[in-house]
């Protein structure tokens, strides 16, 4: 299975996490801010898409620009996993809500999303990225819970690998 991470990061937090996931799963990796179109998305079976959330639940800037490329690329039948960074204390009414904007597009385009993540151990008011009590992907918080990040990444990657084995 060909796997790649596509991330957007303003201050480097999402980039750092993307590199950790890359090491753990041995994937290719792309900064969406450097891509001109969605051609690279089409090369992979599993797309791991990571964004931070900005300004009341919006996408990170480079993701905002890359969205038209994602929408223009055929990802029907591909598997997608999402991760999102946010600040649950500073922006608790929209914690990691940006992930949901990507989630809705990939679902609409016929991708199969794996990697939902229980919302236990977080303290936030609301998040557009929670469906049926679970985040639509891995939620991380480098501003308030950075000590939990490595453990969360390890568990989530184990969970992804288990889902991929079941569906193989």
Ligand X SMILES: Cc1cc2nc3c(=O)[nH]c(=O)nc-3n(C[C@H](O)[C@H](O)[C@H](O)COP(=O)(O)O)c2cc1C
- Positions that interact with ligand X (CB under 6 A): 9-14, 52-57, 60, 85-87, 91, 94-97, 142-143
- CB of 87 or CB of 157, closer to ligand X: 87
**Among 114, 107, 39, residue whose Cα is nearest residue 82:** 114
Considering the complex, what minimum distance in angstroms separates the CB of residue 94 from ligand X?
4
Burial class (CB within 10 angstroms; exposed 0-12, middle 13-18, buried 19+) of 98: buried
- CB of 109 or CB of 134, closer to ligand X: 134
Question: Under 8 Å CB-to-CB from 123, ≥6 apart: which residues?
Answer: 88, 89, 92
- Could you give the CA distance from residue 111 to residue 2 in angstroms, rounded to a whole number? 15
Considering the complex, what minimum distance in angstroms separates the CB of residue 137 from ligand X?
13
Considering the complex, what minimum distance in angstroms separates the CB of residue 7 from ligand X?
8
- CB of 13 or CB of 27, closer to ligand X: 13
Task: Tell me the residue number closest to ligand X, measured at CB.
Answer: 86
- CB of 79 or CB of 136, closer to ligand X: 136
- CB of 38 or CB of 57, closer to ligand X: 57
Considering the complex, what minimum distance in angstroms separates the CB of residue 20 from ligand X?
13
Task: Look up residue 147 and give its two tokens.
Answer: 């000590």
Considering the complex, what minimum distance in angstroms separates the CB of residue 14 from ligand X?
3
């Amino acid at each position: 299975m060909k796997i790649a991470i596509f991330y957007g990061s303003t201050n480097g937090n999402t980039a750092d996490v993307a590199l950790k996931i890359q090491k753990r799963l041995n994937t290719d990796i792309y900064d969406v801010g450097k891509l001109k179109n969605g051609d690279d998305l089409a090369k992979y079976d599993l797309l791991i898409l990571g964004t931070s959330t900005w300004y009341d639940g919006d996408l990170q800037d480079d993701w905002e620009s890359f969205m038209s490329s994602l929408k223009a690329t055929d990802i029907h039948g591909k598997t997608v996993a999402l991760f999102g960074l946010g600040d649950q204390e500073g922006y608790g009414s929209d914690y990691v809500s940006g992930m949901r904007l990507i989630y809705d597009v990939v679902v609409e385009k016929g991708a199969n999303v794996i990697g939902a993540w229980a919302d236990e151990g977080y303290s936030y008011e609301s998040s557009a990225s929670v469906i049926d009590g679970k985040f639509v992907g891995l939620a991380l918080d480098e501003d308030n819970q950075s000590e939990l990040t490595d453990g969360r990444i390890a568990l989530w990657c184990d969970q992804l690998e288990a889902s991929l084995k079941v569906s193989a």
